[in-house]
C-alpha cells in the first residue's frame, strides 16, 4: 500500500459525506518519534535450585552459615553467572533495542511540520 | 568588638570549594590510589588488559578522602560516610577512631587475662575484627515485594554485593543509634556491637538470621520472580 492510497482511505473513513464517519481521530494519525519499551520473552527465576539447597542446609543446621559454606559458595557462583548471562543477552538478537531506537529517533526524528 | 573587627581582617577564602561530581560518563574508569605497583610478570591476563585499558581511557578524579597511605581502607571510608550526619566527617571519623581504640583495648585486656594456650585465638587487630564482623552481618538472601494476582508477596531474592554490604552497615548503625542507653557514647555501643558480631552474637546478627528465616518461610514464592 503506497502512502497516498493510505491517505485516501483514511480520508474516506473520516469523511461525513457518506453518512456517519467510520472512525473518530482522537489522537493525530501519525507515528510518534519513539518506540514502546517492551521485552518479548518473559524471564524466569534464576538459581532457584541452589537457593532451595541452601535453605534445606539452613533448616538442618539451624541457620548456621559456617556449616553451610559450600552451599553458600555455589549459590554465589550461580548468581554471578546469571548476572553475566542477563547482561550479555540484551543486545545480541539482531534487533535494535527500544532504548537504542529511541536515541536514534531523537537525533533523527520524523519531521511533522516544516519550521 | 575587637574580635568582630579582626574577623574582617582575615584573608578571604572561598566558602564553597569544588567537589568531584559523582556522575561521570560510564566510559571513565575508577582511579586506583594505591602506590605499590605489581610487577608485570605477576599479573593475570585480565589484569594486564585492565592496565592497558588504563593507558587509553580517561579516569575519574580521585575523591579527597582516598589517600595512597596504607591505612586507607575503602570499607572503613564507606562506613564512616554512612555514619556521618550533616557532612560532619570529623565527628564521624573521630567516633570510628575511638571505636577501634576501644576494641583494641578490650581485646588486649582479654589477651593478657587469658591463659597462654588460648592467647593465640584472641584477635587483637581492630581492622580485622571490623571486617569479620561486617562479613558476619551481611545477609545472603533478601526479600523483594512482587505483585501477583492483585496481592503482594515477599519473594526470596539473591542480593548484589553492594546491597549486602549496605544492609550490613545500615543495620549496624541503626542498631547503635536506637537501642542504647542515653548516656552511652556511640563508640562504646559500636565497639560492643562489633565484638558481638565478630563472635556471631548480638542484635545485628539476629536481624540477619530473622531475614534468612523469613526468606526460608517464603521459599514457595521463589518462582514468582522473573529475573
Q: What is the pLDDT of residue B132?
A: 96
Tell me the pLDDT band of B85, cut-offs 50, 70 and 90: very high
pLDDT of residue B12: 63
- Give the global pTM: 0.79
Query: What average pLDDT does range B135-164 have in this prediction?
Result: 93
pLDDT of residue B141: 92
pLDDT digits (tens, 9 = 90+) for A95-104: 778 888 898 8
B3's CB contacts (< 8 A; 6+ apart) are none
Under the banding of pLDDT at 50, 70 and 90, the label for residue B15 is low
Q: Do A58 and B212 touch (CB under 8 A)?
A: yes
Shortest Cα–Cα distance, B5 to chain A (Å)? 59
Q: Which of B216, B220, B221 should be substituted to probe chain A, the one whose Cβ sees the most A Cβ atoms within 10 Å?
A: B216
Predicted local confidence at residue B39, as pLDDT:
73
Residue A80 pLDDT: 92
Q: Rounded mean pLDDT of B196-225? A: 93
Q: How confident is the model at residue B8 (pLDDT cuts 50, 70, 90)?
A: low
Judged by a CB distance cut-off of 8 A, whether residue B141 touches chain A is yes
- Mean pLDDT across chain B, nearest whole number? 88
Average pLDDT over every residue of B41-62: 84
Mean pLDDT for A25-54 is: 85
CA B144 → CA B82, B156, B225, B226, distances in Å?
23, 6, 9, 12
pLDDT-based confidence at residue B1 (cuts at 50, 70, 90)? low
Tell me, letter by letter, the H, E, C secondary structure of chain A.
CCHHHHHHHHHHHHCCCCCCCCCCCCCCCCCCCCCCCCCCCCCCCCCHHHHHHHHHHHHHHCCCCCCCHHHHHHHHHHHHHHHHHHHHHCCCCCCCCHHHHHHHHHHCCCCCCCC
Residues of B in contact with A47 (CB under 8 A): 158
- Does the pLDDT at position B18 exceed 80? no
Mean pLDDT for chain A? Answer: 85
Among the partner-chain residues B141, B224, B226, the one whose CB lies closest to the CB of A42 is B226
DSSP B75: H
Spatial contact of B191 and B99, defined as CB atoms under 8 Å apart:
yes
Which ipTM was obtained for this model?
Answer: 0.76
CB contact under 8 A, B140 and A65: yes
- Output the pLDDT for position A92: 61
Question: CB–CB of B209 and A63 under 8 A?
Answer: yes
Q: Do residues B218 and B156 touch, judged by C-beta distance below 8 A? A: yes
Q: How high is the pLDDT of residue B17?
A: 59
Instruction: Give me the pLDDT at residue B135, please.
Output: 94
pLDDT, tens only, B168-205:
999 999 999 998 888 999 999 999 999 999 999 999 99
Please compute the mean of the pLDDT values over residues B103-126 and round it to a whole number.
93
Q: Tell me the per-residue pLDDT of B86-114, one tens digit each, with 9 for 90 and over.
A: 999 999 999 999 999 999 999 999 999 99
**Which residues on adjacent β-strands are paired with residue B142?**
B157
| CB contact residues (below 8 A), chain B span 109-128, against chain A | none
Strand partners, B155: B144
Residues of A within 8 A of B209 (CB-CB) are: 63
How much is the average pLDDT of B150-176?
94
Amino acid at each position: 500500500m503506497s502512502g497516498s492510497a493510505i491517505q485516501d482511505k483514511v480520508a474516506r473513513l473520516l469523511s461525513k459525506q457518506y453518512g456517519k464517519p467510520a472512525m473518530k481521530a482522537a489522537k493525530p494519525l501519525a507515528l510518534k518519534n519513539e518506540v514502546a519499551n517492551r521485552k518479548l520473552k518473559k524471564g524466569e527465576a534464576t538459581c532457584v535450585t541452589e537457593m532451595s539447597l541452601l535453605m534445606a542446609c539452613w533448616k538442618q543446621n539451624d541457620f548456621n552459615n559456617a556449616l553451610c559454606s559450600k552451599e553458600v559458595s555455589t549459590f554465589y557462583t550461580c548468581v554471578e553467572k546469571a548476572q553475566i548471562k542477563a547482561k550479555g543477552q540484551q543486545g545480541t538478537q539482531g534487533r535494535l533495542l527500544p532504548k537504542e531506537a529511541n536515541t536514534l529517533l531523537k537525533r533523527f526524528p520524523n519531521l511533522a511540520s516544516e519550521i | 568588638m575587637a574580635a568582630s573587627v579582626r574577623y574582617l581582617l582575615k584573608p578571604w577564602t572561598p566558602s564553597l570549594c569544588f567537589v568531584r561530581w559523582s556522575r561521570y560518563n560510564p566510559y571513565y574508569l575508577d582511579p586506583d590510589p594505591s602506590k605499590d605497583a605489581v610487577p608485570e610478570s605477576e599479573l593475570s591476563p585480565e589484569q594486564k588488559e585492565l592496565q592497558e585499558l588504563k593507558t587509553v581511557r580517561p579516569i575519574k578524579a580521585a575523591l579527597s578522602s582516598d589517600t595512597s597511605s596504607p591505612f586507607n581502607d575503602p570499607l572503613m571510608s564507606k562506613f564512616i560516610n554512612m555514619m556521618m550526619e550533616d557532612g560532619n566527617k570529623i565527628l564521624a571519623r573521630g567516633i570510628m577512631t575511638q571505636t577501634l581504640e576501644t576494641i583494641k583495648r578490650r581485646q588486649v585486656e582479654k589477651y593478657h587475662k587469658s591463659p597462654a594456650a588460648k592467647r593465640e585465638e584472641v584477635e587483637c587487630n581492630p581492622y580485622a575484627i571490623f571486617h569479620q564482623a561486617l562479613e558476619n552481618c551481611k545477609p545472603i538472601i533478601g526479600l523483594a515485594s512482587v505483585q501477583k494476582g492483585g496481592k503482594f508477596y515477599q519473594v526470596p531474592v539473591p542480593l548484589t554485593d553492594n546491597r549486602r554490604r549496605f544492609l550490613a552497615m545500615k543495620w549496624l548503625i541503626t542498631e547503635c543509634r536506637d537501642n542504647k542507653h542515653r548516656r552511652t557514647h556511640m563508640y562504646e555501643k559500636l565497639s560492643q556491637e562489633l565484638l558481638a558480631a565478630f563472635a556471631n552474637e548480638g542484635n545485628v546478627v539476629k536481624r540477619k538470621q530473622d531475614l534468612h528465616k523469613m526468606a526460608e518461610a517464603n521459599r514457595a514464592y521463589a518462582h514468582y520472580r522473573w529475573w
